[in-house]
Structure 1
């Protein structure tokens, strides 16, 4: 292996080995030859690697860093060329291709919890587990103030991973215990009559109380936008599919601006996933 270029399988094994580790040299899988040196937020590849392997490392090694603050939050949106994440009826399966879906599963494998809103959970009936790659399942979190996600959906019935069901009610802060195989219902989202999106700050507080600090906001657009508006996203992956829908639900729902200097312009990396183009947007570089 030492004389061969690292491939995507090798690169993914290295990523899994890097979770919550820093200031370490990781060997080539199955060898004692050094492959990647990780120093704080930077990393150096010391073995030849394919372009796909390099891209994979550049996308996912930053997500592996130990969490030094209260939380690290990664968001994602899968959209069409014209910025739609679903049709007017809510149909979104599947805008992104196979490579984009595999990318989604890889992010799940690196996070403590994966979060979706009630609309996404109700319409898509997702499993939110890791099936297209190796890695562990995250805790599944559904923001469901009015308890409108059907009780028959996978998140509540399959037992493949723990589920946190966040609903209306007053929250009592403090350390919490998670049901390791079932559903834990947590009243925490205030009044059921409230029409505004659930507070991202409150959601992160609840997850921290359960010991969940590396958080993946998988959807939908309103939920991701609420975290972006609150300045709580450290990273955002936007996957763009070669598809034009023409109408439907927009990816972002943010306050209107008058001047372009008010627009968000994060540091960006563009990666060809194969079926989709990925914009890897780093918002954490602007944070102290």
Structure 2
């Protein structure tokens, strides 16, 4: 099992402005590389807030690409995805999972979404080690976690992140912007999760930094 966290941020680690504007922080070359990385994984994982705000497709969209599409996974405890969103509407074309903490909702099942029920934590959030185990039973062993900040922080806090693919744009948003990684409750530097940088590349105006767990 492997978990890769993808971040596309400003220089100061923000994924959106205070108002939520995020398209597009990084440039076309960086976005194209993200699609290549998606193609290397079994599933793309996002939180429900990202799914509701962006209505993404989470598919590989590259010129001439005809390989398999990764499954789409939404962490959605209360099953808030609507029948008209892109992920639900295309669930019969691309495997789509909702990870919930209650019984499957009919509108998702009828659309072809597979609802996985896992153990709940405080605030009814899914327990991530149970999530990873449930996805592994579905044959989804290589996970590509794309957002948002709270989901990223949750995977890091649980010690589940094996690698980070960080795309950094040359702009500053400031403290009012939305962080790429939410609160980690780190009280001392010794407690901070450590990663080892293994590669840095320029992609147009952006930097692509690759990290592995130290």
* TM-score under structure 2 length normalisation: 0.86
Identify if the C-alpha distance between structure 1 residues 147 and 225 changes in structure 2 by more than 3 Å, giving closer, same or farther: same
**Superposed CA RMSD:** 2.2
State how 1:238-249 maps to structure 2 within 5 Å: 238-246=166-174, 247-249=176-178
Give me the whole-angstrom Cα distance separating, in 1, the residues matched to 2:120 and 2:193.
30
Q: How many residues align?
A: 204
Q: Does 1:85 align with 2:15?
A: yes
Aligned to 2:207: 277
Alpha-carbon deviation of 1:132? 2.1
Q: Does 1:110 align with 2:43?
A: no
Alpha-carbon deviation of 1:240? 0.7
Deviating more after overlay: 124-133 vs 248-257: 248-257
Identify if the C-alpha distance between structure 1 residues 239 and 125 changes in structure 2 by more than 3 Å, giving closer, same or farther: same
Q: Does 1:96 align with 2:26?
A: yes
Aligned to 1:140: 72
State how 1:1-288 maps to structure 2 within 5 Å: 71-132=1-62, 134=65, 135-158=67-90, 159-169=92-102, 182-190=112-120, 194-195=122-123, 197-246=125-174, 247-268=176-197, 269-283=199-213, 286=214
Deviations 1:123-160 (A, max 9, x none): 01110111125332101111111122332111000244
Q: Is the CA contact (8 Å cut-off) linking 1:139 and 1:164 kept in structure 2? A: yes
Which one scores higher on RCO, CA 8 angstroms, separation ≥ 6?
Answer: 2
Q: Which residues of structure 1 form unaligned runs of 5+?
A: 1-70, 172-178
**Bigger-Rg structure (1/2):** 1
Give me the whole-angstrom Cα distance separating, in 2, the residues matched to 1:112 and 1:248.
31
Q: Which residues of structure 2 form unaligned runs of 5+?
A: none
